[in-house]
Structure 1
Amino acid sequence: MGRPPGFDKDKVVQAIERQFRRTGYAGTSVDDIAKAGGLGRGSLYAAFGDKSNLYLQTLAAYCDRTETAWAAVLEGPDETALERLRAYLVKSARFVHDDPDRLGCMVTGFVVEGVDHDPQANERVRQALRRIEGSLTECVQAAQRHGDLEPEAGASEISQLLMAVNRGMEVMAKAGLDATALERVADQAFEGLPLTARARSRQTPRPVASDAL
């Protein structure tokens, strides 16, 4: 099979990205990649190079998109910073279940699989995690400035905790824990933050979805 008419490189990359997210680097063959992208082997190699290079391209594109998406959730004025941290947890709880194929994060998949075929891929994953942690830290600091989180609490440590909860909920979702249970985990994690007395007095219970799976 040659290159199809109207070949759209971005769409092909996204389709192949989902294949890597579904079966991992080691579990994805060149034939799997070609089928997912709707390309013949010759067109695949001509457009993207070998499997390792294609994985790096799809991983980089995924990281770019993920960093932008989380920054959009977390950036904003000080007065709504606490609500944005809660939104981060809620979105984390629903991340896998909101995907029609129940695919997890490509970054998490890379780390769990232990892919070490390319130091560039390893560095890109580390960069993505640093950038997301940076967005979280800035949001935590904004909540502290507004008086919603205790000022003496370590912003970096809170950010790392939230990232650990994010990754843990993804793994539990992949293992079969339903969305409603994960939202309760998100609520418990939020309540465990070093909220000030003023912030706790303003909190109201968040409605939990009833779409248990």
Structure 2
Amino acid sequence: MGRPPGFDKDKVIQAVERQFRRSGYAGTSVDDIAKAGGLGRGSLYAAFGDKSKLYLRTLGAYCDRNEAAWAAVLEGPDGTALERLHAYLVKSARVVHDDPDRLGCMVTGFVVEGVDHDPQASARVRQALMRIEGSLTGCVQAAQRHGDLDPEADATGISQLLMAINRGMEVLAKGGLDAVALQRVADQAFEGLPLTARARSQQASRPVVSDAS
């Protein structure tokens, strides 16, 4: 298979990214990559380099997009910070089920697979996790400023706990736990936050609405 005339590099990167997310770095061959991208081996190497370079490129693109998506969920005014933390948990519960191929996070896949082929990839994954943790910590601190979370609670510790719940729900979803069960996990995790008495009173007065289906 030769190079298609005027092929779209971004579409190739997206297709190859999904292949890596589907079968992991070790489980993805150059032939798999070529097939996913619709290119011949020669065209693939000429356009993107070897498998390691292409993995790093797709990982970087995925991390950029993922960081921006979580920042969009978590960043905003202090007055709605608590709602945004709940939205983070709800989205965490649905992220696998909302994907038609049930693919998980590429960052999680990298860590679980134990890929050690490129220190640049390891560094990019650490950077992604730190940036998401930063967005979470900022949101927790906003909720504390607004009086919705205990101001004495460890904001960094809470953000790391929420990240652990996020990754755990992803694994459970890929293991077969359905969206309704994961919504219950998200709700329970939210209830476990160090909410102030005022915030608990406000939450109790609101009707229960579930996004799960």
Structure 1: segments with no counterpart, 5+ residues: none
What residue in structure 1 maps to residue 110 of structure 2? 110
Percent of matched pairs sharing the same residue: 85
Q: How does 1:86-101 map to 2 (within 5 A)?
A: 86-101=86-101
Structure 2: segments with no counterpart, 5+ residues: none
- TM-score by structure 2 length? 0.98
**Deviations 1:116-161 (CA, angstroms, capped at 9, x unpaired):** 0000000000000000000000000000000000000000000000
Structure 1 residues 13, 210: CA separation in 2 closer, same or farther (over 3 Å shift)? closer
What residue in structure 2 maps to residue 198 of structure 1? 198
What residue in structure 1 maps to residue 85 of structure 2? 85
On the 8 A contact 2:21/2:103 being kept in 1, the answer is yes
Q: Give aligned pairs, total.
A: 211
What residue in structure 2 maps to residue 132 of structure 1? 132
**Deviations 1:17-44 (CA, angstroms, capped at 9, x unpaired):** 0000000000000000000000000000
How far off its partner does 1:210 sit?
5.8
The question of 1:207 aligning with 2:209 is answered yes
**Deviations 1:174-208 (CA, angstroms, capped at 9, x unpaired):** 00000000000000000000000000011135323
- TM-score by structure 1 length? 0.98
- What is the CA–CA distance in structure 1 between the aligned matches of 2:111 and 2:103, rounded to whole Å? 15
How far off its partner does 1:2 sit?
1.0
Q: How does 1:47-62 map to 2 (within 5 A)?
A: 47-62=47-62
Structure 1 residues 152, 210: CA separation in 2 closer, same or farther (over 3 Å shift)? closer
Matched residue SS, 2:201: helix
Q: How does 1:143-182 map to 2 (within 5 A)?
A: 143-182=143-182
Q: Letter of the aligned partner of 2:154 in structure 1?
A: G
What residue in structure 2 maps to residue 64 of structure 1? 64
Q: How does 1:178-189 map to 2 (within 5 A)?
A: 178-189=178-189
Q: Letter of the aligned partner of 1:83 in structure 2?
A: E
On the 8 A contact 1:184/1:208 being kept in 2, the answer is no
